[in-house]
């Protein structure tokens, strides 16, 4: 007779010292007492008993169906499941069906008798009652801690770590700097994908492959020093990573993207163009011109309704034509130079990296280099196999590459910010192409901005020197919407 010994412990029970080793020792001793020399272990370490989505439980059930297991042994019934429905399903639809016995080390019952089956049913009821009681106490404790502004437990958010003494969240200097930069890039219009790739190159501690991960982080009030209690936000006792202004900007950008009106996009006119025929948004498309010997790709803007084969009388509008006409209109716009200066500053003024962050990253790099050296020394001494070394070195080398990227960036940022602090106001005005504008003209333009759009000079002399992100910033500071009519004429809705 072959016996399957099933052991399970959840993550919460691990913290309480509920040991897998203790369960297996007791079950093995029970097998010896019963004269069962042949048994296999099935261990689900760190899995909840509230569902049956457990890898080794599935393997055990498969072996039962194959006839390889005649008796299932557990330390206690709730190791099998904490839900009465699941226990009864296993007993009646699996164990009975495949003529498999079921025993518990600590609970004397015999499933072959009606009384034994009834006893199991009652034990299952109490197991579920215990589970429901634990859930209720956990929720109550979490709610009470949240009201007090205390961390309520669970996975620690990226950017923080749990203090072993106070059991409160404290900032992880290295991760917190990445969180700040993530919020900065997001409010500047960078896509979820580009931010995720940027983070993945600089941190190996979390996975950022899914946009849902970034959306969750960007909407998590914990980063602004608050905790969510039901439908309210309460002040937390942990230090915030993001200031309230940046947080509000990020929430506004999230709402904008959810509505389909993202502030920026991959192309200069992304999310600004509206079809003048049907009112739908327009999208950028690329088509191949195969009429010539050399196939060329041509870029257009097209009504999204027409693109999805809907009914719309609009046409294809060449990308270059629309963008040139928009830039021409922009250069005639009475654009507030102070607003231009502010928008560009948002793209070119990252915060200066502090020395503690540099020290922490440098210390991590030294520690990592020492660890790598030990592995290489062990390999050269012939103590390790090549496959083992490769398996261990790959993540370490990846982590080292991430640290080197961050340290290089921080050095460049510090140098850049030092140069920017040395610039005078006249230097800034010259860099932005505003040196021909007097302070009086700027003040006059600010007074007339709501009623006139033609009183401040052009920015055409600096446009060609701007990066795409800077052009997008200036354009969106001035333009709210561009309607493209059927005849190709453009109607601009300027920001007031």
The residues near 81 (Cβ < 8 Å, ≥ 6 apart) are: 49, 50, 52, 87, 90, 124, 127
Cβ(96)–Cβ(112) under 8 Å? no
The alpha carbon torsion through 443, 448, 452, 458 (nearest 10 deg) reads: 10
Listed residue (50, 239, 75) closest to 138, CA to CA: 50
3-state secondary structure of 363: helix
Residues in a beta bridge with 496: none
Rounded-to-integer distance, Cα 267 and Cα 245, Å: 27
Rounded-to-integer distance, Cα 413 and Cα 402, Å: 17
Active site residues: 10
Cβ(260)–Cβ(178) under 8 Å? no
What is the separation, in whole angstroms, between the first and last Cα of the chain? 84
Going by the DSSP 8-state scheme, the letter that residue 462 receives in this structure is H
For every residue of 82-134, DSSP letters joined together read S-HHHHHHIIIIIITTTT-EEEESSS---TTSHHHHHHHHHHHHHHHHHHHHH
């Amino acid at each position: 007779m072959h016996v399957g010994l099933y052991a399970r412990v959840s993550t919460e029970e691990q913290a309480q010292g509920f040991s897998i080793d203790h369960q297996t020792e007791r079950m093995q001793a029970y097998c010896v007492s019963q004269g069962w020399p042949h048994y296999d272990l099935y261990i689900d370490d760190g899995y909840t008993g509230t569902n049956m989505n457990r890898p080794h439980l599935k393997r055990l059930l498969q072996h039962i169906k194959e006839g390889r297991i005649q008796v299932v042994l557990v330390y206690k019934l709730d190791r099998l499941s904490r839900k009465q429905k699941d226990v009864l399903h296993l007993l009646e639809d699996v164990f009975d069906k495949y003529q498999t016995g079921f025993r518990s080390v600590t609970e004397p019952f015999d499933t072959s008798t009606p009384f034994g089956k009834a006893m199991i049913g009652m034990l299952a009821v109490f197991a579920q009652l215990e589970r429901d009681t634990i859930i209720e106490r956990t929720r109550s404790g979490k709610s009470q801690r949240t009201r007090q502004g205390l961390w309520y437990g669970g996975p620690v958010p990226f950017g923080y770590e749990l203090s072993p003494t106070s059991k409160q969240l404290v900032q992880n200097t290295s991760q917190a700097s990445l969180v700040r930069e993530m919020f900065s890039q997001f409010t500047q219009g960078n896509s979820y994908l580009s931010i995720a790739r940027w983070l993945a190159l600089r941190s190996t501690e979390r996975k950022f492959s899914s946009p849902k991960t970034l959306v969750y982080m960007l909407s998590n009030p914990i980063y602004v020093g608050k905790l969510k209690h039901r439908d309210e936000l309460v002040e937390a006792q942990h230090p915030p990573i993001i200031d309230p202004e940046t947080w509000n900007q990020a929430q506004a950008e999230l709402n904008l993207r959810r509505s389909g009106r993202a502030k920026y996009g991959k192309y200069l006119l992304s999310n600004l163009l509206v079809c003048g025929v049907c009112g739908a948004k327009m999208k950028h498309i690329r088509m191949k011109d195969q009429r010539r010997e050399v196939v060329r790709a041509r870029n257009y803007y097209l009504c999204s309704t027409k693109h999805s084969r809907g009914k719309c009388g609009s046409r294809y509008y060449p990308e270059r034509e629309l963008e040139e006409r928009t830039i021409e209109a922009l250069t005639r716009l009475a654009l507030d130079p102070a607003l231009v200066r502010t928008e560009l500053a948002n793209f070119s003024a990252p915060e200066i990296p502090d020395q503690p962050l540099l020290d922490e990253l440098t210390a991590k790099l030294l520690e990592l280099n020492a660890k790598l050296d030990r592995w290489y020394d062990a390999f050269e001494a012939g103590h390790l196999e090549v496959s083992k070394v490769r398996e261990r070195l790959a993540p370490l080398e990846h982590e080292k590459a991430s640290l080197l990227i961050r340290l290089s960036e921080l050095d460049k940022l510090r140098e850049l910010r030092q140069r920017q602090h040395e610039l005078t106001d006249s230097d800034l005005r010259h860099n932005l192409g505003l040196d021909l504008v007097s302070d009086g003209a700027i003040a006059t333009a600010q007074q007339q901005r709501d009623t006139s759009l033609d009183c401040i000079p052009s920015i055409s002399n600096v446009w060609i020197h701007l990066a795409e992100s800077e052009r997008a910033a200036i354009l969106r500071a001035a333009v709210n919407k561009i309607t493209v009519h059927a005849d190709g004429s453009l109607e601009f809705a300027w920001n007031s």
